[in-house]
Structures are given as structure tokens and as C-alpha cells.
Structure 1
Amino acid sequence: MRVLVLGGDGYLGWPTALHLSDRGHDVAVLDNFARRGYDDELGVCSLVPIEDLSTRVAAWEEHSGKRLPTYVGDLLDADFVYATLREFAPDAVVHFAEQRAAPYSMIDRAHAVYTQHNNVIGTLNLLYAIGELDRDIHLVKLGTMGEYGTPNVDIEEGWLELEHNGRRDRVLFPKRPGSFYHLSKVHDSHNMEFTCRAWGLRATDLNQGVVYGQTTPQTALDPRLATRFDYDSVFGTVLNRFVIQAVLGEPLTVYGTGNQIRGLIDIRDTVECIRLAVENPAERGEFRVFNQMTESKSVRQIADVVSAQFPGPVQIEHLTNPRIELQEHYYNVKHTGLVELGLDPHLLSDVLIESMFPIVEQNKHRVDTEKLYPTVQWTSSGNS
């Protein structure tokens, strides 16, 4: 299949492009390098050094013999989106090209507006391009488990069978997102569902949990193929932060009680989920949702796993939670769709031993410890 990966220079987009290429698909990557710009803005960098896209593409061709055509541009430029789809003529579009950090969206008004404008309008341009050029293109888009929030009922895979006043219907699962970033993903989901229903598009929405890990079989072939390892309080994930703190001998900083539960997934499973979705497309007119996670743990349980796996003493420290979220909540997520398609999940403790601690040890001199601590508060309206 011909697959266009949007955001193909990013943390997940790059290893996904390699995984799909390695599995025999004709892959092209598109990016505007905004993610690299966020590093400059925030004064941070990936723990693991990453090469520019042209170097990465050349390294992959050297190892695999396969070329990855590249398109540099912005989804907010509708003419560019249309031209790219016309030229590459994909069978599937994998969409990672959005601002992805909840804390970044909560810095202030400007960052909230940027996040929603960038994410929602970019995706809307893409939907129009698919609708007008080729409605057989299958859109596979990365959503987030954060769209759902933490409802006091089981979280179904995107849809809910509802009975009300003696009548039944199938409706999109109610959403209660926890940041302006997560809200942008909800708007995307509704726009996608509408265009599937109204125009007959085909789309798969992958509501993904927190991704951990930095290595896939393809990125491990050459240091030039490495993907990002974010650890700062804005773009880094809780697990990355805990692993770095353990290696540095710093306390693991748990926000609030630590009883907030997160859905988790290994990066190797993320790229495989994308492949499974691409190779098993939604039907015309179908808006399909998969909850892309493999296990769930509380923040405190994640800290305990890191502490148990690390070969040395580890302290755990509780900080005031900068986010507005329930400290105690029910969390039961249905996530059978991708397993039924063939996903064989990795579990959390495995990857820590195999790769994360050694990677951090090799690069610990690159850590700016001040960036590990939260600076964005959900209770503040920030600056305009």
C-alpha cells in the first residue's frame, strides 16, 4: 500500500514510517518541523540526539534500500495538502501532525488558541482534501485516551449503546477532556465522524494511551535512525521522567496522590497498531475507533514499577498536582479491537530492563534537571 505519514519527523511518526516501510509498504513522510521548534521555544532537547530528516531518510535508504519521499509543509496550507495528496496518491494517510502536549496547550491563551487552530483546522483541511480528491483514502488518525476523561462507567471503544426513555441508539461515547489539547482531539473526532457519515469517508481514530520507550527494531539499526526521548515537564511523559530521575538518583516526582490511572502502551506496540489499522481499513462511511493501549496503571504504580526494576535505591516524592483532575477515580477501558486484529502486546516492566535504563545512562549528561519539574498550572489562566 502507499502510505503517507503526516508528522513523519516526530516521536511516533518517524518510527511508524520505518515500520511500515520495513513491512513492504511504499511510504512517504510529511512534516513542518514544528516539534523541533517547540524545543527551541522551551529551551529543551531530546535526551537522545536526533538527526535532521534528510539524514534520517538517507540512513534508512542505506540500510533498507528503500526511499522515503519527503514533503515539507503545513496542514494549515490547504493548497499544499491538496498538492501532496495529488502527487503521492496514497491508499492510507497516517496522521500524527498535531501539537500533542496537554501542558503546552495550557501555558496561556496564545498556546491554547494555537493548539486548537493548528490541530482542528489542519485536520479539517485534510478531510476536505480526501473528500474532494479520493474518498477511498483511509485516514488513520492518532487520538488520545484523554478525550474520554475518567467517567464513572466502563469506557467503550468510541461508541456507546444507549437506552433512554425506552428508546435505544448508538452514539459516540461522551467525552470529558482535561485540557485544551485534549479538547482539540475531541473536535477532530467529531469532524471525522461527521465526514464519514456525510461524505462516505473511511477513518480509524486511535485513542492512544501514554506511550513509553524509544526503540523499535528499525530505529535500533543505526544511531542516525533514533527517535525522540522527551523528558521535560511539558512534552515528556511520566514514565520517561521517572526513569531519568531514577538513573540520576533524584526522587521520583508523583503529582498529587498518585492514584490517577493512565492507559499505557509500548512504542513497539504503537507502530504495530498503526500497521494493523492500515492493513485492515475501515469500510466506506465507517468511523472506527480503537482504544490503543495495552494496560493501565496508576501514577504511583508506575513509580513503583520503576523503583522495583531499577538496580539501585529509589525515593518517591509527592508534589502538588498542577493539573485539574480527579485524584481517585474508576477506570476500566475496553481495548479489544487491535488485539483481535493480531496485536501481541509488550508489558511495562520488560522495556525498562531491555532499553530505557541503558539509554538514559548513556545520555544522562544531556539532562537539564530543572526541566523535570512542572511549571504550567491548570488553575492559572496564564498570559495572553
Structure 2
Amino acid sequence: MKVMIMGIDGYIGWPLALRLLREGHEVTGIDNFYTRRRVREVHSESALPISSMEKRIAEVGKRGLGDIKFFRGDVSNSEKMHEAIKSTEPDAVVHLAEQRSAPYSMMGLRQAKETMVKNIVSTINLIYEVKDQVPDCHILKLGTMGEYGTPNIDIPEGFFDIEYRGRKDRLPFPKNAGSWYHWTKVHDTNNLMFANRVWELSVTDVMQGVVYGTRTEDIIYPALFTRFDTDEVWGTALNRFCAQAVAGIPITPYGKGNQARGFLSLEDSVSCLALGIRKPPERGEYRVYNQFDEYYTVNYLAETVQQVYHQETGKNAEIKHIENPRVELEDHYYHPENQKLKDLGYRRKRELRQEVSIILKDLEKYRDRILKHRESIIPKTLWKA
């Protein structure tokens, strides 16, 4: 199968490319290195050293893992999107090429507009190119569990049955996102549902939980590392906590730490996406998967990192709660469903404590890189600013 990965240079995009190559697919990637630039903008860098795309692709070829065709370009540019789709005619496109940080989107007007324009326009560009050039192509778009918010009822996978004033219907589950970034994902979902209804495009919309981890089964050499961000803008909670433990600085849950979210390892994220490619929807089908393994509170994650770190090193890691920079419920009901991927054949590979141990060992080798940018870990982006 010919698969294009939009955002191939990213945290998930790169290991997904390695997985798809191993499974025998032809892999094409497009990226404009947006995340690399924006991470530098907040005076940080990947805690794990990563090579240029040219060196990465060369390394993959040298080790006999396969060939990757690469386009450098911004997919919110319709001409670049047209060129990439026309020259490759993919059977499937995985859309990971969006501004992915909630804090970045909340920094100010410039960042909010940039997030809105880049994310929504890139998805519209993809929809029209698939419609006009490869209508049988499968679009797999990476959404987020953050689209749903934290409703006081169970969260279904995309749709739910409702009865109102004696009438029944099956409707999209209401969305209540918590940042400009998360709202762009909601708009992407709505646009893809509409494109499916009007043009019968085949779409998989993956509502992904928070991803953690440094490795997948395919990242067995440092030269194949994917990026790993630890700052307050681009680093997610568990990844930050591991970096803080290794650097000897306090682990900092926001607020009370009772916020609950769905989480999964990088290995399991890649496995889910690869499964979605191997088992595509029917022509004209729109399907939604909630992609996570377990849901945890932030406190549970911080305590798990603390315990594993002590077990591995004999050292103590301090937990220090700090004022929550976000506007979010800290005590809430949270019970999302995630059965559909299991029905498709997905089975979890990595347990939380096992993965935390791997992360800590990997980061210990690059402790100096974390310490170099330790000031970037403490939150400065305030939702109410």
C-alpha cells in the first residue's frame, strides 16, 4: 500500500514511518519542520538528539529498512499539498501535520490565529486533493480525546443515541474543547464528517489520548530516535515528569492533580495507527476510534514516575504541586469508551510502569540536554493572560 504521512518529522510521524516500512508499505512523507522551529522559539530542544530528515532517511536506507520519499513543504499551502498528492497517488494519507500544542495556541493572538489557519486549512486542502485526485484514498486523521472535554457522562466513540421530546436520533457526541488547538481538532472532525457525507470519502478519525514514551519496537538505534519534548509548551505531562525526575528538579503536577485523561504509549499509538491503515474503512465510511489504553489522574502519573525512579536509582524525586495555568475542571467524572480498536484487533503492548522505566533510562543519558533548558519546563503560558 502507498501511504503518505503528513508530519513525518514529528513525535509520532517518524516512528509510524518506520513501522509502515517494516510492514511492507511504500512510505512518502511531507513536513515543513514546524515543530523544530517552534520548540526553538520557546528556548528548548528535543531531550533526545534527532538528526536532519536527510540523515534520518539515509540511516533508514543504510540499515536496509526501506526507502522514504520526502517532500519539504507546508500542507496549509494548497500548491504543496496538490504536488504531493498528485505525484504519489497514495492509497492512504495519515494527517499528523498540525500545530499540536494547546499552550502554544493560548500564548496570544498571533499563535491562536496561526493554529486556526494552519490546522483547519491543512485539513481542507487534504479533503479537496483526495476528492479531486484520489477519491478512493483512505484519510486517517489524528484527532484528540481533548475534543470531548470532560462531560459528566460517559464518552462514546464519536456518536451516541439520544431521545429528546419523544424523538430519537443518533448524533455526533457534543464537543467542549479546552484550548484553541483542541477547537481546531473539533473543526477538523466536523469538516471531515461533512466531506464524508457529501463526497463519500473514506475517513478514520482517531481521538487520541496523551502519548508518552521514547521508543517503539522499530527505534532500536539512537540514530533512529524520534523527538522527545520536555518544555511546558510542547512536552506532555508524563514526558515532562520523567525529565524532571532525571534532572533532579521537582515533578510539577498542575493544580490539585486530579485531572483525568486517557494515555497510551508511543509504541501502542503507532500500533493503533498502523492497524487502522491495514484495516481501512469501507468506501464512503466514516469511523471514529477513541485511542487510549487507560485513563489516569495527573497525580497517579507523578507518583508512578516517583516510585519507578526510586526503584531504578535509589534516589528520591520530589513532587511539588504548582498553580494550574489552564482553565479546566480539576475534579470531574471521566469515563470514555475505547472498544472499537479492540474489536479491530488491537492489543496493548506496553504497560505504564514498564514504559516509564524505559523513558528514565533513555533520558539519563541526555540529562545535560534537559538541564540546559530546565527553565522552559515551568509553565509561563497562562490561559487567562
Shift of 1:249: 2.2
1:316-327 to 2 correspondence within 5 Å? Answer: 316-327=319-330
5+ residue gaps, structure 2, are: none
Shift of 1:195: 0.2
Change (3 A) 1:252 1:93: same
1:150-200 C-alpha deviation (Å, 9 max, x unpaired): 000100001111111111111111000000000000000000000000111
Q: Is the 8 A contact 1:60 1:67 kept in 2?
A: yes
Report the equivalent of 1:61: 61
Distance 2:383 2:179 in 1: 8
Matched residue type, 2:309? F
Length, aligned pairs only: 378
Report the equivalent of 2:126: 126
1:1-384 to 2 correspondence within 5 Å? Answer: 1-220=1-220, 222-311=221-310, 312-345=315-348, 346-353=350-357, 355-367=358-370, 368-380=373-385
RMSD over aligned Cα atoms? 0.9
SS in 1 for 2:256: coil
Shift of 1:340: 1.6
User: 240-249 vs 8-17, which deviates more?
Assistant: 240-249
5+ residue gaps, structure 1, are: none
Distance 1:214 1:316 in 2: 22
Q: Is the 8 A contact 2:22 2:65 kept in 1?
A: no
Q: Is the 8 A contact 1:197 1:286 kept in 2?
A: no
Runs of 4+ that moved beyond 3 A? none
Q: Is the 8 A contact 1:98 1:118 kept in 2?
A: yes
Matched residue type, 1:24? G
Give percent identity, aligned residues only. Answer: 42
Q: Is the 8 A contact 1:294 1:347 kept in 2?
A: no
Q: Is the 8 A contact 1:163 1:169 kept in 2?
A: yes
Distance 1:61 1:314 in 2: 41
Distance 1:197 1:32 in 2: 31
Q: Is the 8 A contact 1:22 1:64 kept in 2?
A: no
Matched residue type, 2:49? P
Shift of 1:257: 0.5
SS in 2 for 1:204: strand
